[in-house]
Every structure is written in C-alpha cells, then in structure tokens.
C-alpha cells in the first residue's frame, strides 16, 4: 500500500497558519523569557492559548467534539513540527507533553462521564494533567514491568501506595493518571491498572521538583508520593489489570509527537545557523562559503529530512491501526539523536554567539539532550529493535526447517 506524504490542503493551510502564529506571536514571548516556560508562568500560558484559539490553531489533535481539529497522526506530524519551531509553541497549541498524550489516551479509553470530567477541561486548556508511571529504582522506568506502586481494594474503591518520580507537569496539575499494580509482583508483565486521581486528594502529594537540564516542560519534573490515597471505583481508567495494554495506546503516538515537536526546534536551530553563516564574514569570505561549514549545513538538512521521513512512515502505520512498535522505536531513536546533532552543529557554526544568551541555541541544546533518555533511552530502543529483528529471523528459519 503506497504511503501518501503530501498533506491535504486543509492540513497544509493549518500548518501554514500555525507557522505564522508561532513566528509572529509565540517566538517574541519565548525570547522574552529565554525559552523557559516555567519562568513565564500560568498567566502567559493562558494568554498564548487564548491567542491560539483566536488564530484558529488551538488543539489540532483533539476531536471536533471537544473543540479541536481531529487530525490523524500523519496530519499531526505536519502541524506539530511547525508548532515545535518554538519551545513555547506546543504549550500555546495545547499539544505539549504530558497533556497531549493524556488527551489521546482519554479519547480512546475513558467512559463518557470521565471524558466530560477530565478530558473536556484538559482539551480546552482550562486545566493541566500528569501521567504518573515512572518510579525511583528499582521501580518502573525503562522496564515498566518493574512497577511497584500498589493499589488494593477497599470498601467503595481502591487505596494507592507508592512513590513516583520524573512526573512531568505534576506541579499545578488538576489530576494525575496513576499506574499502579493491582495484581502480581514487580517483574510480572501484567497486573497494572490506571487510576484518575484528583490533585486535591490528600493521599497524593508533590514533594519536590527534580532539577534537570531541561526547563521547557510546564510544571517541571516532580517526585510524587501516593500514601493511603483512596479513590472511588469510577476512578479506574479502562479495565482493572489492563493498564500495560492501555499504555500502548499512548506510548507509540506520544513518542512520535515528541519527535515532531523537537524536529521543529532542529529546523529553528538550522535556520539560526544558516542565517549567521550567510551574514558572517571572516578570512575574506562568508562563513557559509567554507567547506567545513557547508558540510555541517548539509548534514543538518540530511538529519532533518531523514527524521521527517521516519516520523511520517511510523505515523502512517499508526493511522493504519498497526502497532507501530518497530517503526516508532526506530523513528524515536534516530530523531532524538539527529535533533541533538543538528542543534550541536548549529551552535558550533555560530561560535561564541551560539553559546551566548543572545540566541537560544544553548537553551535548545539543554532542552533536546534529555530526549535521548525520555520515552525510552536509545539503548533500550536499540535492544528492542534488534530483538524483534532476530525473533523474525528465527521464526522464518523455523518455518523453513519445518
């Protein structure tokens, strides 16, 4: 089946309007706050999101029923890349992590009552959310099966006990989607359940912000404790013991939307560097006329184009209803490393200007580096990619021997 990469006219128009909105409205705000969304504060978030609504580019991923454009994954790839041209762009369009991934999952899994209570205010930007799965060692991390947070049945509901960390956006979130073990032991592949936990629940507490390289994700990366956290039966998202299966609904698409957004930043870094190289004169010529600089510019374009192709191929698989496990792992691993290379080369081309605060390249470098760890380290993805390939080979060999 052929893969159509050309966006529909409506999607192309939305992408063009998003690009103009980011350039004219969002980037000046980003530059004012040195690219750090936490410093901007919630008032700036509300102002940018209202501006996005006024421009008709808000919530492109959410269904029309909840006020969005209802784009599929291939269409999101085009629009999200344009939004990602600024660190503040995803926040303005309400497509930043973790809210974007939570909206995607709630649309697929939540009951009508849960959608009204949790999805609708999230989709409109009225509230923020977080996804509480990752735990301190030896708990769930690269291996979700290590999940140690437990939920036990109590009269009328469940009691959750455990510790989570690196929970993005937890500070100020209206609720958490918490993954807890309802059967089995850490290391078992099943037995997890998702719970919707309101922030005012006395059993859930944000105890600290974890200091990290990146600062652009709103609400920070936090450590969260669930201590005697009692929730009612209707707080269960989906079915009991099906949490790991439901996580797959979120996982592949969320990996790709991360890639889309960071690809926008890679393009921005390249544009800054090319502008500098075209204007800067030294040793009797423009910087852009030097062979070593031309190689860096060309390598950046190759990395950007290759990343875009891998992202759109994986999105096509997801839109076809396939698991996309292999294609999303390949796209995520390559893009995370390619974006780093592009930003690093761009900073190098700009020399002292690149490491100064006069342009945002040094901020971009700090922001993109953790992506090689978030959503699964590159090493974990390579292990899984190789395991699937070897398994496929062995399966084919066994058929031949039979």
pLDDT value of residue 291: 94
| Pairing, β 150-154 against β 192-198 | unpaired
pLDDT for 326-352, tens place per residue?
A: 999 999 999 999 999 999 999 999 999
What is the rounded CA–CA span in Å between residue 272 and residue 297? Answer: 11
Q: Quick check: 400 pLDDT over 80?
A: no
HEC per residue, the chain: CCCCCCCCHHHHHHHHHHHHHHHHHHHHHHHHCCCCHHHHCHHHHHHHHHHHHHHCCCCCCCCHHHCCCCCCHHHHHHHHHHHCCCCCHHHHHCCCCCHHHHHHHHHHHCCHHHHHHHHHHHHCCCCCEEEECCCCCCCCCCCHHHCCCEEEEECCEEEEEEEEEEEECCCCCCEEEEEEECCCCCCCCCCEEEEEEECCCCCEEEEEECCCCCCCCCCCEEEEEEEEEEEEHHHEECCCCCHHHHHHHHHHHHHHHHHHHHHHHHHHHHHHHHHHHHHCEECCEEHHHCHHHHHHHHHHHHHHHHHHHHHHHHHHHHHCCCCCHHHHHHHHHHHHHHHHHHHHHHHHHHCHHHHCCCCCHHHHHHHHHHHHCCCCCHHHHHHHHHHHHHHHHHHHHHHHHC
Q: Quick check: 164 pLDDT over 90?
A: yes
Which one, of 144, 204, 152, lies nearest residue 177 by Cα?
Answer: 204
Q: Quick check: 402 pLDDT over 70?
A: no
Q: Quick check: 283 pLDDT over 90?
A: no
Structure-block tokens of residue 193: 């359940």
pLDDT value of residue 284: 86
**pLDDT band at 266; cut points 50, 70, 90:** very high
Q: Quick check: 66 pLDDT over 90?
A: yes
Residue 220's φ and ψ, nearest 5 degrees, are 70, -170
CATH of domain 249-401: 1.20.140.10
Q: Quick check: 182 pLDDT over 90?
A: yes
pLDDT for 201-218, tens place per residue?
A: 999 999 999 999 999 888
pLDDT value of residue 40: 77
Residue 50's Cβ-side half-sphere holds a number of Cα atoms within 13 Å equal to 6
Q: Mean of the per-residue pLDDT values for the chain? A: 95
Structure-block tokens of residue 242: 């099906």
Q: Quick check: 143 pLDDT over 80?
A: yes
Do residues 343 and 365 make contact, with C-beta atoms less than 8 angstroms apart? yes
**Superfamily covering domain 129-241:** Butyryl-CoA Dehydrogenase, subunit A, domain 2 (2.40.110.10)
- Do domains 9-96 and 129-241 share one topology? The answer is no
**What ranges do the domains of the chain cover?**
9-96, 129-241, 249-401
What is the rounded CA–CA span in Å between residue 259 and residue 100? Answer: 13
Does the pTM exceed 0.85?
Answer: yes
Sign of CA dihedral 333, 334, 337, 339: negative
User: Helices 42-55 and 9-21 sit at what angle, rounded to 10 degrees?
Assistant: 140
Long-range contacts of 313-316 (CB under 8 A, 24+ apart): 313/3, 314/252, 314/256, 315/72, 315/73, 315/74, 315/76, 315/77, 315/256, 316/3, 316/4, 316/73, 316/74
What CATH class does 9-96 carry? mainly alpha
pLDDT for 12-43, tens place per residue?
A: 999 999 999 999 999 999 999 988 877 778 89
């Amino acid at each position: 089946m052929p893969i159509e990469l050309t966006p529909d006219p409506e999607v192309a128009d939305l992408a063009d309007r998003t690009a103009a909105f980011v350039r004219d409205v969002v980037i000046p705000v980003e530059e004012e706050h040195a690219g750090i969304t936490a410093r901007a504060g919630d008032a700036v978030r509300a102002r940018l999101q209202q501006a996005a609504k006024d421009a008709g580019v808000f919530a492109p991923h959410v269904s029309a029923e909840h006020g969005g454009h209802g784009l599929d994954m291939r269409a999101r790839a085009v629009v999200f890349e344009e939004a990602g041209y600024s660190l503040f762009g995803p926040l303005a369009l309400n497509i930043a992590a973790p809210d974007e991934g939570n909206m995607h999952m709630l649309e697929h899994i939540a009951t009508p009552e849960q959608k009204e209570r949790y999805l609708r205010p999230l989709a409109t930007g009225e509230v923020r959310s977080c996804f509480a799965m990752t735990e301190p060692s030896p708990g769930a991390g690269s291996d979700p099966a290590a999940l140690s947070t437990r939920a036990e049945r109590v009269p009328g509901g469940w009691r959750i006990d455990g510790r989570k960390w690196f929970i993005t956006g937890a500070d100020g979130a209206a609720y958490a989607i918490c993954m807890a073990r309802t059967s089995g032991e850490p290391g078992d592949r099943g037995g997890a359940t998702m719970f919707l936990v309101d922030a005012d629940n006395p059993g859930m507490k944000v105890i600290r912000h974890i200091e990290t390289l990146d600062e652009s994700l709103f609400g920070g990366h936090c450590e969260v404790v669930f201590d005697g956290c009692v929730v009612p039966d209707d707080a269960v998202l989906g079915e009991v013991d099906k949490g790991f299966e439901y996580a797959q609904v979120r996982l592949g698409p969320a990996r790709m939307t991360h890639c889309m957004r960071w690809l926008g930043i890679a393009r921005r870094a390249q544009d800054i560097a090319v502008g500098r190289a075209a204007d800067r004169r030294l040793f009797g010529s423009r910087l852009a006329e030097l062979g070593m600089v031309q190689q860096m510019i060309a390598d950046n374009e190759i990395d950007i184009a290759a990343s875009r192709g891998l992202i759109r191929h994986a999105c096509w698989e997801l839109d076809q209803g396939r698991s996309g496990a292999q294609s999303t792992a390949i796209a995520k691993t390559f893009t995370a490393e390619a974006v780093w290379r592009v930003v690093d080369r761009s900073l190098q081309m700009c020399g002292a200007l690149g490491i100064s605060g006069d342009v945002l390249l040094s901020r971009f470098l700090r922001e993109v580096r953790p992506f090689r760890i978030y959503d699964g380290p590159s090493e974990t993805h390579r292990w899984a990619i190789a395991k699937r390939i070897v398994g496929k080979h062995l399966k084919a060999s066994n058929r031949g021997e039979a």
